[in-house]
Structure 1
Amino acid sequence: MKAVVLAEPEVLRLVNLPEPEVGPRDVLVRMRGLGLCGSDLGVYRGAREVPERPWLMGHEGVGEIVAVGADVADRAVGQQVAIEPNYCCGRCAACASGFTSACTARVIVGMNHPGLLAEYVAVPAEFTWPAAETVALEDLVCTEALTVARSAIRRSDVGPGQRVLVVGAGSQGLLLCLALRALGATVAVQEPHEGRADLAHSFGAETDAEGEFDLVFETSGVPQALRAGLARLRRGGTALLVGIDSRPLELTSADLVYHQHTLKGSLIYDHPVDFETTVDLLNRDDVRPGKVLQARFPLEESAEAFASVRSVAGKSWISFD
């Protein structure tokens, strides 16, 4: 089967690999689409270390089940599925409390476990989520990224009618705009890139809003952008940090205490509730995240796809069809 591997930083190669074996609790998925995000770009550029090279890339995968393991009773050949690419152990204290995003033994597909950028992948059945046939491929491709956005929203307790500022209108910020608007919140974006700001505006977000906000969602990972966002947060408001960066934040305890702000980190999602509810949302056609996709590439042009991630206003993806 065809697959794309990282030979060295910023060097991808199209190779032939053996088709994966299917364990008793696995399903074999014929891949149809794979979304790209900043985490993939970190691996691609060598900023995020992987166990070995060549390395199979990619984690935001969707496809069709073509075989099921002997012990799998609740998945069937022919189902289209979104893959949940963080396999929690189910045994540690965090998992026992439902806080699986903090699992101490989490398997992270494409990061510490081989990725999904291949024609066929074997996946634990528990971490595949069947979607209705009516869900368009483009919407399904956005499932994992949309789940990250909706998990941050769940953790924020934001409600209809509240004023929300999204800092950064990359793919994650755009999906937050869509999900927050669907919830009934009033949404504005803080984004210097004109193309991304225009795209957010087309999704119903304000780009020149004035005044204070009840909540801030920071997706850029840029410390200066967070500080500018907090300057717009009302006293007693909450900021959800989704973007990741290793640089120190430009904050003091006085900033937080005098304004009584709450800062909350939101990492991925919790199994199974967050993926399950996102797929249910797609099945009901309540939100169409596929409009975030702005650049489509075939598998053979994966190098061009990864190179486009920083420049494209919206989300890049790879199509296997």
Structure 2
Amino acid sequence: MRTVVCAEPGYMALEHRDPPRCGKGEALLRIRRIGVCGTDIHAYGGNQPYFSYPRVLGHELAGEIIEVGSEGDPKLIGQRAYVIPYLHCGQCRACRKGHSNCCQRIQVIGVHRDGGMCDTLAVPLNHLVVSETLELDQLALVECMAIGAHAVRRSGLVQDELAIVTGAGPIGMGVAQFARECGARVVVIDTNAERLAFCRDKLGIEMTLNPSEDDINAALKALSDDEFADVAFDATGSPAAMQAGFDLLGQAGRYVLVSIVKADISFHDPDFHRKELTLIASRNATRADFDHVTHLMESGRLKVDAMITHRAELADVPEQMPAWCTPATGVVKAMIEISDTPRLFIQRSSS
């Protein structure tokens, strides 16, 4: 089968590998869609924690079940499904307490083990979710949206609170939509004017701010009667922005770091204590978050289709990846497609 491998930072290659076998408790998924997310882009750039090379990227996955192993229901064959890529042990303290998203021995498909940039992938049956309603594009976006759902759930956000989302990438767009689902007043902050326009025009986020053009402090004071935000979410992947986010919060505010970076994040302790802030990390998502996203997608309450701005076939990924990593190309979400009759791949002899 065809496989795209990130051999080292900045270099991807198309290879031919033997297809996987379907083991006990597993299913074979014919991959049809692969969403490219910030984790993939940071891994390609060499900036992703928990990562080693070579690695097959891809964890936003959708496809068709073509085989089930022993203990599997044959009726699943032919069904469309998405993948929950967080393989947890089920035994550590985090798992026992329902926090499978931060399992002590977690193996994330496409991060700790090879992912779905390939024609076929073996996946544990209990990490496949079938939907008869959602299209393949939508199925491939469930994981991305679940990250935002988990972050908002962690925040405890409630109706009429002021929520600031810094970073208007796909994750931030998901956070903003789930914050709005809570009935919060949502402000999105980003330096990219095109992405802010996308949030307004495509997602219906009415309040956006650009630090390059707007006085952020003055705007937040006006929106909050000089009390600033109740909750701030960072989805920038920028250490400087993550540190600046502490200043967006008012008394008893909650700060949710959705981004993860290879850096130390610091804050001014007297201000942190004076406001009695709460700092929250948000990692991955749980099955409850995936179910919540699936329900909202099936009911049409999430706007996800417009997020897909670029597409490519699997064989073209090594050529397209550098452009997808360049902000000037205007990528919001790139989607890799694998057709029913993929382009023939001929392995060249090394001799």
TM-score (norm 2): 0.85
Is the 8 Å Cα contact of residues 309 and 316 (structure 1) preserved in structure 2? no
Aligned to 2:308: 293
Aligned to 1:27: 27
- Paired residue type of 2:338: F
Aligned to 2:224: none
Q: How does 1:1-321 map to 2 (within 5 A)?
A: 1-48=1-48, 50-53=51-54, 55-73=55-73, 76-132=76-132, 134-202=133-201, 203-205=203-205, 206-208=207-209, 209-211=219-221, 212-270=228-286, 272-307=287-322, 308-311=324-327, 312-321=330-339
Farther-moved stretch of structure 1 (69-78 vs 143-152): 69-78
Is the 8 Å Cα contact of residues 165 and 213 (structure 1) preserved in structure 2? yes
CA–CA distance in structure 2, aligned partners of residues 241 and 52 of structure 1: 26
Query: 1:187-213: per-residue Cα shift (whole Å, max 9, x none)?
Result: 111101111111122222211453222
CA RMSD of aligned residues (A): 1.9
* CA deviation after TM superposition for structure 1 residue 74, in Å: 8.5
CA–CA distance in structure 1, aligned partners of residues 171 and 310 of structure 2: 15
* CA deviation after TM superposition for structure 1 residue 138, in Å: 2.3
* CA deviation after TM superposition for structure 1 residue 96, in Å: 0.9
Query: 1:158-190: per-residue Cα shift (whole Å, max 9, x none)?
Result: 122222110111111111122222332221111
Is the 8 Å Cα contact of residues 3 and 56 (structure 2) preserved in structure 1? yes
- Paired residue type of 1:224: A
Gap regions ≥5 residues in structure 2? 210-218, 222-227, 340-351
Farther-moved stretch of structure 1 (38-47 vs 59-68): 38-47
- Paired residue type of 2:314: L
Farther-moved stretch of structure 1 (65-74 vs 249-258): 65-74
Q: Tell me the SS of whatever aligns to 2:208.
A: coil
* CA deviation after TM superposition for structure 1 residue 123, in Å: 0.3
Is the 8 Å Cα contact of residues 68 and 74 (structure 2) preserved in structure 1? no
Residues 74 and 290 of structure 1: CA distance in aligned 2, closer, same or farther (over 3 Å): farther
CA–CA distance in structure 1, aligned partners of residues 75 and 114 of structure 2: 23
Gap regions ≥5 residues in structure 1? none
Percent of matched pairs sharing the same residue: 27
Number of matched residues? 318
Residues 228 and 45 of structure 1: CA distance in aligned 2, closer, same or farther (over 3 Å): closer
Is the 8 Å Cα contact of residues 75 and 125 (structure 1) preserved in structure 2? no
* CA deviation after TM superposition for structure 1 residue 75, in Å: 6.4
* CA deviation after TM superposition for structure 1 residue 289, in Å: 1.8
CA–CA distance in structure 1, aligned partners of residues 61 and 36 of structure 2: 9
Is the 8 Å Cα contact of residues 102 and 284 (structure 2) preserved in structure 1? no
CA–CA distance in structure 2, aligned partners of residues 173 and 93 of structure 1: 30
CA–CA distance in structure 2, aligned partners of residues 310 and 115 of structure 1: 23
Residues 144 and 28 of structure 1: CA distance in aligned 2, closer, same or farther (over 3 Å): same
* CA deviation after TM superposition for structure 1 residue 232, in Å: 2.5
Q: Tell me the SS of whatever aligns to 1:112.
A: coil
Residues 227 and 45 of structure 1: CA distance in aligned 2, closer, same or farther (over 3 Å): closer
